[in-house]
Amino acid sequence: MKKDDHYLLGSLLKTTGIKGEIILKFNNDCLEEIQKLESIFIDVDNKLVPFFIEEIRPKSSTTAIVKLEGLDEDEKSIEFIGSEFYVSFEQVKILQIDTEEFIDIIGYKVFDQSKKLIGEVLEFIVIPKNPLLNVKTEKGEVLIPAKDELIIEVDDDLQEIMINIPDGLLDID
């Protein structure tokens, strides 16, 4: 199965317990609807492999504990840690996921309003009413507000984001 036909929902964070359960980290806020998930597709060697869900329960606002069919021991589950997981676009509709969120911007270059390169997006942090970009700069990592009113332009073709950086934000050492 091709990734283009599926939606990146998150990653497998770590194992938990002794029965092969895995903590899923979601890229966006869809925890209210996760009970509707029947399966996920895990990226294994750049191919999507389906896994049926035996049980899933929320852990935090962005994580859930899942028990996948066929993964009954930590030794089996641990080999998938760090992998991304996807859902079909039919499941996206069922889960009512807003696919317009900043999800696929990892690796995008961030520029300020004067077109000066700031760095590269490492992570999009979903905080209600205060989303943040974790950006790797020459001096280290910096959190930049990703509010609509600050974003000047997002160019998906060039994988670039131009943002109005608040005064003094990058001066912090």
Q: Which of 13-22, 58-67, 122-131, 140-149 has the lowest mean pLDDT?
A: 122-131
Q: What does the pLDDT read at residue 102?
A: 43
Domains and CATH numbers, the chain: 3-95 (2.40.30.60), 109-171 (2.30.30.240)
Q: Which residue has the higher pLDDT, 140 or 34?
A: 140
* Cα 28 from Cα 92, distance rounded (Å): 12
Strand partners, 42: 49, 85
Q: Which residues contact 51 (CB under 8 A, 6 or more apart)?
A: 39, 40, 41, 42, 68, 69, 70, 71
Answer positive or negative: Cα dihedral of 63, 67, 68, 73: positive
Q: Nearest to residue 86, comparing CAs of 104, 60, 108, 105? A: 104
Can you say whether the dihedral through the CA atoms of 77, 63, 141, 46 is positive or negative?
positive
Q: Cα–Cα distance between 11 and 80 in angstroms, integer?
A: 9
pLDDT in tens, 117-155: 999 998 887 776 778 888 999 888 989 888 888 888 888
